[in-house]
Amino acid sequence: MKLTPGSIPFALLSASTALAAGTLEFSLESRQVSHFPDLAERNVQGTSESALISNYDGTLGMRYMINLTVGTPPQPQSVLIDTGSSDTIFLAAESFCNTRKSSSKCPGGTYNTSASSSFKMLSPSGINATYGGVTTSSASNAALVGDLVADVIQTDDLIIAGAHFGVAHQSSNNMLGNGDYIGIMGLAYPSAEAVKQGEPKYPTFVESLVDAGAIASRLFSLYLNAVSSYGSILFGGLDTEKYIGNLTTLNMMPRRASSTKIQFFMMQLDEVSMTHEDGTHEVLIKPSDQTQLVYPDSGTMTWVLPAEYYSKVVNMTGAKMQGSNAFLPCSQVSNETSFTFTLSGNGTNKAQLEVPTTLFFTPAVLADGSGVLKSEGEVMCILMVQQANSDTDFMLLGAPVMRAGYWIFDMDNGQISVAQARLSSTTSNVVAVGAGPHGVMNAAKQPSQLGANQTLAVDGNATASVSMSLTTATNAVGQTSGPQSTVLSGGAAGQMADVTLGASLVSVLMLSITFGAFLL
């Protein structure tokens, strides 16, 4: 089956065409669309929406970031959005990117606690978060170590006083892999918080929004969108214009069969099949006897899967291994094949996501942004699929897979609702989701029979050490929509280094995508 224009949004087709032509701009080009409504104009009570910035300042590659401010007066920050961890951590100004120290940069900003009149120390050295460690990549883990504190955070037009978060003073490696540092917003349950042994969990950012009365329940929607456009994160609501067809609600899975509590965003993978150019389908992955858990992780740039499936997937795309990664000339990436993911949960509902093969390839840009990898004059694309290390028993569905979907994380109900994303949507219909079962179905105006009921208990709300309160600001932060004009890797397209594929280069290159912001 060919991808028909009816089933795949136009932007994808245009992206793949440009990709096939070998131009780097495919992912950067801003399609000129006449008018984008301003998010601020459609602010809906009980929700908070911020733009997801998919490449910031040219050096970060395909990372998803949110803009917010911290402290009084407000200090602007851009931090990674990460469904794979739970701590929100800013970089301490006195410890990071201080001119006296290294040449490292902090493109997302730093936070000077001394300069904030509303800063409160909660637990000195209370946070020690280690990320990554799920792939076979030789790069070591990244870590952020520091204090647990409270201060004012502004997101969109909401000012949350008393929000709890970490301030990092130390780091080993970093989330960017190029010597630069950035903070993070962890969106998962408090279970995964990296608090000091024996210390209580604290309210996550999502829980702070609930505690302050900004949103009705622990719920947010992620729309990563096409690479050339701003995506969005919507706390407390969903946007019916950002997906195609019905939402399917899946009950999250317990981390282990013996566990009776939902503490992670685990789902079940039933099948991955590939649709070939001639229209035939081939089943690539069909876990039989055991449960195959998958985790939708916005902080990971790749699809991470166990060894038994990895080489099969690489083979199907036609990519060739070089070291621990797979490459294909961009001009040879098929725009007529796709992967279909069938997902389920602890229940009978099943969701299908169609991911065009082109979404798994990205031009191989050097970590320092100085150029793009070429082989025999052809721009090389890197396959955004990685092999899990042997003790990782689940798959990470990173950005390439998540971009294809619209994802609603309904934490109080222990459910994830998903639909095929309507990429490059130019319209919006934000609806607040009420607390209690079937809130998503009600907001989406779908019959509740299409929903599901989670019978297992979910991870509880953590208790705040200082009380939270909510005010609104007239100056919203982080709100933008439409095409994104920032350019990936410092305009690499204009100054492509014609470097040949080789082992040493591959390691330089890969640094920019190896670190998954996943903490378990």
Ligand X SMILES: *[C@@H]1O[C@H](CO)[C@@H](O)[C@H](O)[C@H]1NC(C)=O
Minimum distance from residue 18 beta carbon to ligand X (Å): 9
How many CB atoms are located within 10 Å of the residue 469 CB? 12
Residue 102 binds ligand X (CB under 6 A): no
156 is catalytic: no
d(CA 101, CA 75): 22
Residue 3 binds ligand X (CB under 6 A): yes
Tokens of 315: 């083979």
**Binder of ligand X out of 20, 284, 470, 520 (CB under 6 A):** 20
Which lies closer to ligand X via its Cβ, residue 311 or residue 500? 311
Residue 329 binds ligand X (CB under 6 A): no
Q: What are phi and psi of 454, to 5 degrees?
A: -85, 125
How many CB atoms are located within 10 Å of the residue 336 CB? 17
**Binder of ligand X out of 58, 74, 179, 318 (CB under 6 A):** 318
- Mention every residue, 6+ apart, whose C-beta is less than 8 A from residue 289: none
Taking CB under 6 A as the binding criterion, the range among 245-253, 293-301, 423-431, 465-473 that sits at the site for ligand X is 245-253
Half-sphere exposure of 78 (CA within 13 A, CB side): 17
CB 124 within 8 A of CB 294: no
Residue 93 binds ligand X (CB under 6 A): yes
Segment 456-475, which members bind ligand X (CB under 6 A)? 456, 458, 460-461
**Binder of ligand X out of 30, 375, 442, 453 (CB under 6 A):** 453
**Binder of ligand X out of 1, 33, 115, 466 (CB under 6 A):** 115
Out of 297, 410, 412, 459, the active site residue is 297
Distance of CA 295 to the CA centre of its chain: 11
**Binder of ligand X out of 84, 371, 451, 482 (CB under 6 A):** 451
Which lies closer to ligand X via its Cβ, residue 98 or residue 495? 98
- Tell me the longest C-alpha to C-alpha distance in the chain: 64
82 is catalytic: yes
How many residues sit close enough to ligand X to count as binding (CB under 6 A)? 48
d(CA 192, CA 396): 16
Q: How far apart are the first and last CA of the chain?
A: 39
CB 74 within 8 A of CB 151: no
The SS3 assignment for 376 reads coil
**Binder of ligand X out of 30, 43, 72, 128 (CB under 6 A):** 128
**Binder of ligand X out of 412, 443, 514, 515 (CB under 6 A):** 412
The residue type of 129 is: A
The 3-state secondary structure of 73-105 reads CCEEEEEEEECCCCCEEEEECCCCCCCCCCCCC
Minimum distance from residue 508 beta carbon to ligand X (Å): 25
Residue 70 binds ligand X (CB under 6 A): no
Residue 55 binds ligand X (CB under 6 A): no
Which lies closer to ligand X via its Cβ, residue 380 or residue 499? 380
Which of these, 251, 156, 166, lies nearest to 209 by C-alpha position? 156
The residue type of 51 is: A
d(CA 207, CA 160): 11
Which lies closer to ligand X via its Cβ, residue 133 or residue 369? 133
CB 195 within 8 A of CB 23: no
Which lies closer to ligand X via its Cβ, residue 144 or residue 372? 144
Mask: binding to ligand X, 341-380, rule CB under 6 A, as x and -? -----xx---------------------------------
CB 153 within 8 A of CB 208: yes
Residue 442 binds ligand X (CB under 6 A): no
Residue 321 binds ligand X (CB under 6 A): no
Which lies closer to ligand X via its Cβ, residue 269 or residue 499? 269
d(CA 306, CA 380): 25
Q: Which residues bind ligand X (CB under 6 A)?
A: 2-3, 13, 16-17, 20, 51, 53, 67, 76, 78, 93-94, 98, 112, 114-115, 128, 130, 145, 210, 245-246, 251, 254, 315, 318, 335-336, 346-347, 412, 435, 446-453, 455-456, 458, 460-461, 478, 480
Q: List residues with catalytic annotation.
A: 82, 297
